[in-house]
Chain A
Amino acid sequence: MATATTADFDVRRNDSLGLRVQHLLHGNPVLGPLAVLVVAIIAFSIVNGRFLTATNLSLVLQQVTVIATLALGQTLIILTAGIDLSAGAIAVFSSILMATFCVDAGMPGIIALLLGFACGTAMGAINGFLVTRIKLPPFIVTLGTLTIFFSLNSVVSNSETVRGTDMPSLMTWTGGSIPIGNFRLTYGSIIMLLLFAYFFYALSRTAWGKHVYATGDDAESARLAGIRTGRVLFSVYTVAGLLYAIGGWILIGRLASASPNVGVEYNLDSITAVVLGGTSLFGGRGSVIGTLIGALIVGVFRNGLQLGGVEVVWQGFAIGLLVLVAVSLDQWIRKVKT
Chain B
Amino acid sequence: MFQQRRAVAAGCVMMLVLGPTAACNRGSGEDVVGLITKTDTNPFFVQMRKGAQGAAQTQGVELQSFAGKQDGDNEAQVQAIENLMSFGAKGFLITPNDSKAIVPSIDKAHEQDMLVIALDTPLDPANAADATFATDNYQAGKLIGQWAKEKFAKDGRQAKIAMLDLNANQVSVDVKRDQGFLDGFGIQVGDPNKIGDENDPRISGHDVTDGAEDGGRTAMENLLQKDPSINLVYTINEPAAAGAYQALKSAGRDKDTVIVSIDGGCPGVDNVSKKIIGATSMQFPLKMAQMGVDAIAAYAKDGTRPQATPGKDFYDTGTQLITDDPQSGVESKDSAWGKQNCWG
Contacts and interface: CB of A to CB of B under 8 A. Distances in A.
A22 B267 CA distance: 55
A159 B50 CA distance: 14
Interface in B191-245: 196, 205-208, 210-215, 217-218, 221-223, 225-226, 239, 242-243
A161 B41 CA distance: 11
B105 interface: no
B168 A313 contact: yes
A275 B331 CA distance: 53
Nearest to A53: B225
A26 interface: no
Contacts of B11: none
Interface string A92-117: 00000000000000000000000000
Given A55-B225, A56-B225, A262-B214, A159 B239 contact: no
B46 interface: yes
A278 to B, nearest CB: 25
Nearest to A313: B168
A260 B213 CA distance: 10
Give the size range of A's interface with the partner: 35 or more
Contact of A254 (B196, B225, B246): B246
Contact of B41 (A62, A154, A251, A257): A154
A309 B203 CA distance: 13
A302 B218 contact: yes
B246 A303 contact: no
A154 B218 contact: no
Contact of B168 (A264, A265, A302, A312): A312
A259 B225 contact: no
A55 B253 CA distance: 14
B267 A161 contact: yes
Interface in A250-279: 251, 254-257, 259-265
A50 interface: yes
Interface of A: 48, 50-51, 55-56, 59, 62-63, 66, 147, 154, 158-161, 163, 175, 177, 184, 251, 254-257, 259-265, 302-303, 306-307, 309, 311-313, 316
Interface of B: 40-43, 46, 69-70, 167-168, 196, 205-208, 210-215, 217-218, 221-223, 225-226, 239, 242-243, 246, 250, 267, 344
Given A255-B213, A255-B217, 5 more contacts: A159-B344, A261-B213, A302-B222, A303-B225, A311-B196
